[in-house]
Amino acid sequence: MRADARRNYDRIVEVAREVFREQGYDASLDEIAKRAGVGPGTLYRHFPKRENLLDAVMQSWVDRVNEAVAKALTHEGSDRELLLGWFEEYVRLISVHRGAPAKITSAMGDPDSPIMTKCQVLARANDRVIEHLREDGAIRDGVETLQVCRLVGGVATVADQGDLDPDAVRPMLAVVADGLLR
Amino acid sequence: MRADARRNYDRIVEVAREVFREQGYDASLDEIAKRAGVGPGTLYRHFPKRENLLDAVMQSWVDRVNEAVAKALTHEGSDRELLLGWFEEYVRLISVHRGAPAKITSAMGDPDSPIMTKCQVLARANDRVIEHLREDGAIRDGVETLQVCRLVGGVATVADQGDLDPDAVRPMLAVVADGLLR
DNA sequence: CCACGATACGGAGACAGTCTCCGGTTAGCA
DNA sequence: TGCTAACCGGAGACTGTCTCCGTATCGTGG
């Protein structure tokens, strides 16, 4: 990759992260290009689909997911607290900007999605938490971890789209947790 | 309202219901106008916002909601079965077309939404089921019915957007039900 | 150091969807 | 039947998506 291309690529991603946060995932791509000081053609060559841009924007996000799961697993306290704490973190993690929870959660099952690798990181993080609790015999039989991602993702999605504040989200996550725990 | 206006109104609603079902809630409104044999101006005069059209489309839907809740309440069997059956029906009811679950669920808390009255019908239906179970002492303390709508709506939303089939939805609803029941 | 080919740029513009405005038409009453 | 308020419809302004291709730039091999 040529040096000028790399420069533009990085700049676009940086600007996109900012604009997505300001205006949500529906933001105009041409405006992102403009703000990044490049033509639309340049943006679309690097990122043929909107989701490719999202994927690039989420690159740095992977580290935060791994940190969060590590922290969750060292939690001292009841299983319920651990699970609930992780769910809250999960919601926070996927709520990078307006529209993100829906996008991420619906890509969760799709192997062809451009953001697949990011979803896998998240799914694996969630797996570790659930399996950790399952070893304690704390999880009901027949629970699949992908379901858990979808359930919590669903809560994050409605919170995002109805812009609820975190105080309204917590009790919903508690219901999900209670439904999973023995 | 003049007779020709009424005729156009009805025709637009009828066509919109069809097109939304075919193409989802993102369908082109100009195309709906065209198919209904009217100009865009006519459509936008009757329905200034897309949601106004949705509201009209859902008019006939109200009856089905009321029938469904009546049927659910007469259910013979365990509380869990009753609740789960209602949830499945709830999901089916709000999945009128692609995009509908998200739209309806996010409007659930907004008193200014054009589809507010429809949401109220749904919320009240859900209330009746939950309160019925609460009288039996079957529901955990601290559960609010609006949360229930959002949770089940969230499941429907992820199912819609990730187009999962009903077999994948059922276990998620079961988790929610278990989280609500004592 | 420079010339040249591969690589990348960027903006004009085609296309699609939203929504408005207003000249022309029509319903329905007197 | 004639009049007026109500209504129609489509041209077109505007915004966002995405492509194409002439032009510019990078970086390498001589």
Quick one: A150 and A176 in the same domain? yes
Give me the pLDDT at residue A26, please.
98
Give me the pLDDT at residue B135, please.
96
Quick one: B151 and B117 in the same domain? yes
Residue A139 phi/psi, 5-degree rounding, is: -100, 140
**Buried (b) or exposed (e) across A28-52, using 16+ Cβ within 10 A?**
ebeebbebbebeeebbbebbeebbe
Give me the pLDDT at residue B68, please.
98
Give me the pLDDT at residue B53, please.
98
Give me the pLDDT at residue A126, please.
98
Q: How confident is the model at residue A37 (pLDDT cuts 50, 70, 90)?
A: very high
Q: Tens of pLDDT along A111-164?
A: 999 999 999 999 999 999 999 999 999 999 999 999 999 999 999 999 999 999
| Matching residue, tokens 């994927």 | A55
Nucleotide nearest to A39 (CA to C1'): C10
Q: Count structural domains, chain A.
A: 2
Give me the pLDDT at residue A100, please.
98
* CB < 7 A to strand C: residues 14-73, chain B: 28-31, 39-41, 44-45, 48-50
CATH code for position B69: 1.10.357
Residues of B in contact with A175 (CB under 8 A): 143, 147, 151, 176, 179-180
Quick one: B42 and B89 in the same domain? no
Q: Tens of pLDDT along B60-95?
A: 999 999 999 999 999 999 999 999 999 999 999 999
* Structural domain containing residue B65: 61-180
Q: Tens of pLDDT along B104-144?
A: 999 999 999 999 999 999 999 999 999 999 999 999 999 99
Give me the pLDDT at residue A154, please.
98
Q: Which helix (H) or strand (E) is A154 found in, with range? A: helix A145-161
Whether B12 and B46 have beta carbons less than 8 Å apart is answered as yes
B142 touches chain A (CB under 8 A): yes
82-141 of A, contacting B, C-beta below 8 A: 102, 105-110, 140
Quick one: B173 and B84 in the same domain? yes
Quick one: B175 and B135 in the same domain? yes
CA–CA separation, B164 vs B170, rounded Å? 11
- Within A24-144, residue ranges assigned H as helices are 29-36, 40-46, 50-57, 61-73, 79-94, 100-107, 116-135
Q: Mean pLDDT in chain B?
A: 98
CA–CA separation, B131 vs B153, rounded Å? 19
Distance from CA(B167) to C1'(D4), angstroms, rounded: 61
Give me the pLDDT at residue B89, please.
98
Tell which strand D nucleotides have any atom below 7 Å from a protein Cβ: 6-12, 15-21, 25-27
Quick one: A80 and A99 in the same domain? yes
Quick one: B173 and B88 in the same domain? yes
Q: How confident is the model at residue B18 (pLDDT cuts 50, 70, 90)?
A: very high
- Interface probe for B, chosen from A98, A110, A148, A151 (most Cβ of B below 10 Å), is A151
Closest Cβ–Cβ partner in A142, A144, A158 for B154: A158
Q: Tens of pLDDT along A45-89?
A: 999 999 999 999 999 999 999 999 999 999 999 999 999 999 999
Quick one: A37 and A75 in the same domain? no
Quick one: A109 and A159 in the same domain? yes
CATH code for position B33: 1.10.10.60
Closest residue (CA) to C1' of nucleotide C22 is B41
CA distance to A71, A91, B14, B35, per residue, from B38 (Å): 60, 45, 13, 8
- Interface probe for B, chosen from A147, A163, A175 (most Cβ of B below 10 Å), is A175
Whether B169 and B153 have beta carbons less than 8 Å apart is answered as no
Give one DSSP letter per residue of B1-56, joined into a string: --HHHHHHHHHHHHHHHHHHHHH-TT--HHHHHHHHTS-HHHHHHH-SSHHHHHHH
Give me the pLDDT at residue B142, please.
96
Quick one: A53 and A68 in the same domain? no
Quick one: B36 and B126 in the same domain? no
Quick one: A53 and A76 in the same domain? no
